[in-house]
Structure 1
Amino acid sequence: MKLEKSSRREFLRWVGGLSMGTVVISLVGCDTSGMEGTGDQPPNPPSPGGNSGITIEGNTVTLDLTGSEARKVAEPGGFLHIDEADMLVVNVDGTIRAFSAICTHQGCEISSFQNNRFTCWCHGSQFDTSGRVVRGPATRALTEYSVERNGNIVRITKG
């Protein structure tokens, strides 16, 4: 069966409109502007420097627990997400622990800590304060970093 020219033209116009509609819907689905603070994506964390008490030099992050941001982990239960270092820092009963902020499921950055759990905003994986998976889809623990504390100075080394 051979299509007539007008039918072929209408068909191509319909397919072109369908394709353009799909592209528009896809692009709208990717738009994340205006979503800050809605829980749909991670909030913007504080930046190191100034009086924050956070210094990053290569693979070493130094926290001065008297600094404006670093003091968040001075007390048990405190949490800090350091975006520039892709790092999560938590004070567990007086012991400071540090982990990679990169989810082991698909590489999204974790920035949320509630009810003693780190939660990945992409697919909902949750990790305890030892970095172990407590809810998937992730199946591997977060990478833990070496932490040394001397009074109010904490040195974290990515290894």
Structure 2
Amino acid sequence: MTETTRRTVVLGAGSAGLAAVLTACASYGSPTTEADVEPPAEEPSSDAPKADSSDAPEAEGEAKPKALAATGDIPEGGGKVFKNQKVVVTQPTAGEFKAFSAVCTHQGCTVDEVADNTINCPCHGSKFSITDGSVANGPASDPLEEKQIEVDGDNIRLA
């Protein structure tokens, strides 16, 4: 009959613990971040811009994209984050509207606010200019990607 030593028990327990940790840390497929998940369709809110005759098709089979917001919804010197569309729209100066990706270039978190002339990421504190999306404060080192929008009357749409 073999004798169980303290060393055998400790090694066995250590191996079982290591196996549990490795199993918990294993990745099956590619990692998914918030920025990789397809967003659900955003429900229009009561303060969403109303559809007007300019939403009618321009030509047969061609329709304008749904408005993101009304121009009055975007504060001058500030902006608004549209999480479902992963877009942030800003108004650096009166009547000048800009749009950028809402996905932080540092690690892919979604920015969550526009304050004090910057677009702010909650994950690691990166801040981006509302004027051109450039990095105002790291750790991000790349600017936010600019998105094309069109202002049609009082409506702002992705182009």
- Give runs of aligned pairs for residues 1-40 of structure 1, distance below 5 A: 5-6=4-5, 7-16=7-16
1:63 is aligned to 68
1:44 is aligned to none
- TM-score with structure 2 length normalisation? 0.62
Change (3 A) 1:48 1:88: farther
1:93 is aligned to 93
Rg larger for? 2
- In structure 2, runs of 5+ residues without a counterpart are 26-41, 52-63
Paired letter, 1:62: A
1:29 is aligned to none
Query: Matched residues, percent identical?
Result: 28
Ranges of 4+ aligned residues in structure 1 off by more than 6 Å: none
Deviates more, 1:105-114 or 1:5-14: 5-14
Q: 2:46 aligns with which of 37, 40, 51?
A: 51
Change (3 A) 1:97 1:83: same
Secondary structure of 1:113's aligned partner: strand
Change (3 A) 1:61 1:117: farther
Q: Following the alignment from structure 2 to structure 1, what is the Cα–Cα distance between the partners of residues 93 and 100?
A: 16
Secondary structure of 2:10's aligned partner: helix
Q: CA deviation at 1:18?
A: 7.1
2:122 is aligned to 121
1:155 is aligned to 157
Query: How much is the aligned-residue C-alpha RMSD, in angstroms?
Result: 3.0
Change (3 A) 1:77 1:144: same
1:31 is aligned to none
Aligned length: 124
Secondary structure of 1:76's aligned partner: coil
Deviations 1:103-144 (A, max 9, x none): 112211111222111122222221111100122222221111
Task: Report if the CA contact (8 A) 1:119-1:125 is conserved.
Answer: yes
